[in-house]
Amino acid sequence: MMNNSNLVFKAIGFDADDTLWNNETFFQETKSKFRKILQEYPLDEIDQKLLNIEKHNLQVYGYGIKGFILSLIETSIEISDQKINGRQIGNILDLGKKMFSEPIHLLENVETTLRHLYQKYILLLITKGDLFEQETKISRSGLSKYFKYIEIVSEKDESTYSSILKRHDIDPKVFLMVGNSLRSDILPVLKIGGHALHIPYKITWNHEMEHPEINPKHYTQIKHLGLLKSWLERMS
C-alpha cells in the first residue's frame, strides 16, 4: 500500500480498456470462436502459436483489433500448413468486424467517479492502440467530456509518460496513474517518479502479465474504481 500521507495530486491519468470499459472479454470470446474454426487442430498448439505470433506482430501492427485479426489469420495459415481455405479466413474476418461493432460497456462506478474527480483534478485519458479504434471507443463511451487531455499512443513506457507530462506541464510527483496493467499503467509511471494505482481486471492478456516486486511507497491496489474517491480523500 502507498504509505505517503498528505499527498496532493494535481493530475490523474486513466487507462481506458479494462479500466473504464470492457475490452479483453471480447478478445477472449473471439479467441474461443477462432479455436472452433480450427477445431481439427490441437488446442494447446493453436494457443501457443497465436501467443508467439501476437507478440512478434506487436512490432509490426501495434495494438488493437486489426493487428489481432491479422495474427489470427497468420496463425491459421501456419497451423494448417497453408491448408486454411477462403471460407475459414472469411469467418475470421467476420469475427474482427463483430469486435468493432461491440457496444461500449462502462465498468461499474466509472462515470460517477469521473464526474466527481474532474471538478478537482486535471484528468488525462492515456490509452494505447490503433488511433481510429481508440477514437471510436472514446467517442462512443461518452466520457471525453471529463478529460482535459486525451492521449492515444502506440506504447506506454517511461518515455511516453515523461513526454506527456512534460507537454502538459505536470510534475510526476503530483501525478497519479490509474489502470489495470502492471506492465503498461503502473511500472513505467513509478520509474519516472509518479504514483500509480492498480485496479486488476478479471481477465489479463498474457502479454500484459507481470508480477514484479514493487516498492509500495508510490503504489497501491484497490478492487474497483468506486473506491478511488474515498482513497484520495484518505491520502490528502
In tens, the pLDDT along 119-166 reads 999 999 999 999 999 999 999 999 999 999 999 999 999 999 999 999
User: In degrees, to the nearest 5, what angle opens at C-alpha 55 toward C-alphas 51 and 60?
Assistant: 135
* DSSP annotation of 17: B
% pLDDT > 90, the chain: 86
Residue 54 φ/ψ, nearest 5 degrees:
-60, -45
The CB density around residue 96, as the number of other CB atoms within 10 Å, is 17
d(Cα 133, Cα 206) in Å, to the nearest integer?
21
Evaluate if residue 236 carries a pLDDT over 80.
no
Q: Average pLDDT of 38-57? A: 95
pLDDT score recorded for residue 204:
63
**Per-position b or e across 102-127, b if 16+ CB within 10 A of its CB:** bebeebeebbebbeebbeebbbbbbb
d(Cα 188, Cα 186) in Å, to the nearest integer?
6
Evaluate if residue 205 carries a pLDDT over 60.
no
Q: Average pLDDT of 82-99? A: 97
Q: How many residues does the chain have?
A: 236
Place of cell 473471439: 30
* DSSP annotation of 148: S
Query: Which residue type sits at 200?
Result: P
pLDDT score recorded for residue 193:
95
Query: Which residue type sits at 70?
Result: L
pLDDT score recorded for residue 214:
73
Question: Rounded to two decimals, what is the model's pTM?
Answer: 0.90
pLDDT score recorded for residue 149:
98
pLDDT, the chain, mean? 92
Contacts of 15 (CB under 8 A, 6+ apart): 126, 127, 177, 178, 179, 180, 181, 184, 185
Query: Which residue type sits at 180?
Result: N
d(Cα 164, Cα 167) in Å, to the nearest integer?
5
- Please check whether residue 146 is in contact with residue 116, taking contact to mean a CB–CB distance below 8 angstroms: no
Q: Average pLDDT of 50-56? A: 95
Copy the grid coordinates of residue 182. Answer: 502492471
Evaluate if residue 208 carries a pLDDT over 70.
no
Evaluate if residue 210 carries a pLDDT over 90.
no
